[in-house]
Amino acid sequence: MGLNVNNNNRVIQFAQYIISNNATIRQTAAYFGYSKSTVHLDIHKKLKKINFSLFDDVNIILRKNFDEKHIRGGLSTKNKYLKK
């Protein structure tokens, strides 16, 4: 039982971090020292069961980040070649 409570707390912490920082899965994983796979699984599988309302809030941010990632990638490539 104790392990499950700790896991639930971890999932809630991930969600709160994403919301408060508009963070990506990658940023959240780096901040907490977990793998991207763990964060992704916790958010998309466990959070939905623990707190669906919080999952909805997180999912809005993650969708926005997903929709914008090609723009960030393009800017990164542009900046890389401008530095040369």
Render pLDDT for 16-46 as a digit per residue (tens, 0 to 9): 999 999 999 999 999 999 999 999 999 999 9
Nearest-10 crossing angle of helices 2-21, 25-32 = 120
- Confidence bin at 4 (pLDDT 50/70/90): low
pLDDT of residue 15: 97
Q: Which two tokens stand for residue 56?
A: 């909805």
Cα–Cα distances in angstroms (integers) from residue 84 to residues 8, 73, 74, 79, 80, in the given order: 47, 17, 16, 9, 7
**Residue 24 DSSP label:** -
The arithmetic mean of pLDDT across residues 51-68, rounded, is: 92
- Confidence bin at 80 (pLDDT 50/70/90): confident
